[in-house]
Amino acid sequence: MIIYPILLPLIFAIITVLFWENQQVKRALSIISTGLLMIVNINIFFLVYREGIQVVQVGDWPAPFGISLVVDLFSAIMLLTTSIIAFLLAIYSFSGIDLARRKFGYFPLFQFLLMGVNGALCTGDLFNLYVWFEVMLMSSFVLIALGGERTQIEGAIKYVILNLLASTLFLSAIGLTYNLAGTLNMADLALRLQVVQTSGQVTVIAVLFLVAFGIKSAIFPLFFWLPASYHTPPVTITALFSALLTKVGMYTLIRFFTLLFPFESEFTHTIILTSAGFTMLTGVLGAASQTDLRRLLSFHIISQIGYIFMGLGLFTEYAIAASIYFLVHIILAKTALFLSAGMVESIQGSFDLKKLGGLYKHRIGLSMLFLLPALSVAGLPPFSGFFAKLGLIIAGLESKQYFIIGLALFVSLMTLFSMTKVWNEAYWKPPKDSQYADQQKPVSAWRWVPSITIVLFSVLLGLLANPIFEVCQMAAAQLMDPTQYIRAVLGMVR
């Protein structure tokens, strides 16, 4: 069962390549593929929810020798969220991606990216994780450069170089880990690192992994590639990247620091908390100074990553649960914001806040598609952002980390300020004379349907906060008790 999230995108990517010239077939295939993926992932989620951690030993090699695919509740939640996003973005891209890009392999790359993401979420092997990250990165390299505009190419260069550096660090860390423990299976590693953890080498490896994934998930002070590259491709691709790539980096960090390095808490978690604070603050301050809608939202990605990271830094079960809930919340809300930004651009032809204006006067529905997720990101009740931040703050109070709580609340206020700025400029400002003509411009149904659906999901996540948060707490309980994971993979505890 849990091999399908990897196989499906692969098969459909290959079939899509065969229909290179036929746009209609490519469209249909991408809908079918992501739709099937969503159904499969819903099934996997309920399977894991009922029966616990699912394991597949690839090629039937016994656990520490072969490659294991492991899906626990945290992976299942992430798989489900990514496949919902993938389905909606596949629909959105019929209008959101221009014909030239669609002709030139956008859909196969989309599938390969999904394969990499799903692989990284499923795998239980360190080197296999590296391979999936490379699959994901290669597809994202081509997607970000696809179209070849000047800004895109320049952004791609920055993105490619920084990510290659991160991959090199990741690979070096894998080498050192193998040298230390003699295994690459994550469950086996968790056992062995307990034994050797007296030596300082484990800390060195932990910090190497922290830096490698820190670059990929854009934490302070390693985020500078993100605002320089994420706003350059079409907004659909930016939404895809912001929903999947940085969040997979975050997923891996949470996985590593709960499963492999839970004992080094004093040293690494101080680093994590400090970095989380700076990530939140610099992200939101960067956003405050922007007037380009896409760049502003890109800075908010960084700021919100800081919150997820803060949960990991607090390192209690409740904090991890809040982080997982936050992860789901931000994937939905952020994608909704990017999609609404894309719709704004399709009407008024710009992302510049100075050139936008007057959208609220004639397009109340469109304005709501921005307003609801924006309030959610800012953390106002009854939206999901409020509950996510509430969870983190309660966890912080329990651990008596008052400084980071204060910072989180302040950043929340700044986020609200930043969203208000966008609202005033793009929506509430009276329209200029030249913009009256724009008001009649229709927006494609391919854009309306996914945007509305994703906002609905985001609102539902807030309204159903209690049951969903309980699932997140179950996932966090699994993460904080690695013996379950180890027993599921190795079959016993040695």
**Which residues contact other proteins by CB under 8 A?**
127, 130-131, 134, 137-138, 141-142, 145, 148-151, 153-158, 160-161, 164-165, 167-168, 171-172, 174-176, 178-179, 182, 184, 228-229, 231-232, 292
Q: Which is nearer to other proteins, 157 or 390 (CB)?
A: 157
Q: Which is nearer to other proteins, 300 or 447 (CB)?
A: 300
User: What whole-number distance in Å separates Cα of residue 199 and Cα of residue 205?
Assistant: 11
User: What whole-number distance in Å separates Cα of residue 299 and Cα of residue 246?
Assistant: 13
Q: How far is the CB of 312 from other proteins (least distance, A)?
A: 26
Q: How far is the CB of 21 from other proteins (least distance, A)?
A: 23
Dihedral angle sign, alpha carbons of residues 280, 285, 291, 292: negative
Q: Which is nearer to other proteins, 148 or 200 (CB)?
A: 148
Greatest Cα pair distance in the chain: 75
Q: How far is the CB of 384 from other proteins (least distance, A)?
A: 31
Q: What is the 3-state secondary structure (H, E, C) of 404-424?
A: HHHHHHHHHHHHHHHHHHHHH
Q: How far is the CB of 164 from other proteins (least distance, A)?
A: 5
User: What whole-number distance in Å separates Cα of residue 479 and Cα of residue 471?
Assistant: 12
Q: Which is nearer to other proteins, 131 or 394 (CB)?
A: 131
Q: How far is the CB of 161 from other proteins (least distance, A)?
A: 6
The gap between the terminal CA atoms of the chain, to the nearest Å, is 27
Dihedral angle sign, alpha carbons of residues 59, 125, 486, 65: positive
Q: Which is nearer to other proteins, 44 or 67 (CB)?
A: 67
Q: Running DSSP on this structure, what letter comes out for residue 330? A: H
Q: Which is nearer to other proteins, 172 or 424 (CB)?
A: 172
- Residue recorded with tokens 């230390």: 180
Q: How far is the CB of 162 from other proteins (least distance, A)?
A: 9
Q: Which is nearer to other proteins, 179 or 483 (CB)?
A: 179
Q: How far is the CB of 133 from other proteins (least distance, A)?
A: 10
- Residue recorded with tokens 């030139």: 104
Q: Give Cα separations from 188 to 172, 226, 308 (angstroms).
A: 19, 34, 27
Tokens for 312, please give them: 């990991």
Q: Give Cα separations from 14 to 18, 19, 23, 63, 479 (angstroms).
A: 7, 9, 15, 30, 35
Q: How far is the CB of 129 from other proteins (least distance, A)?
A: 12
Q: Which is nearer to other proteins, 167 or 316 (CB)?
A: 167
**Is 376 within 8 Å of 384 (Cβ atoms)?**
yes
Q: How far is the CB of 153 from other proteins (least distance, A)?
A: 5
Q: How far is the CB of 208 from other proteins (least distance, A)?
A: 11
Cα-trace Rg, the chain:
22
Residue 127 has a CB neighbour count (10 Å cut-off) of 16
The H or E element spanning position 69 is strand 68-71
Tokens for 120, please give them: 């990284």
Q: Which is nearer to other proteins, 214 or 379 (CB)?
A: 214
User: What whole-number distance in Å separates Cα of residue 184 and Cα of residue 67?
Assistant: 9
Q: Which is nearer to other proteins, 162 or 404 (CB)?
A: 162
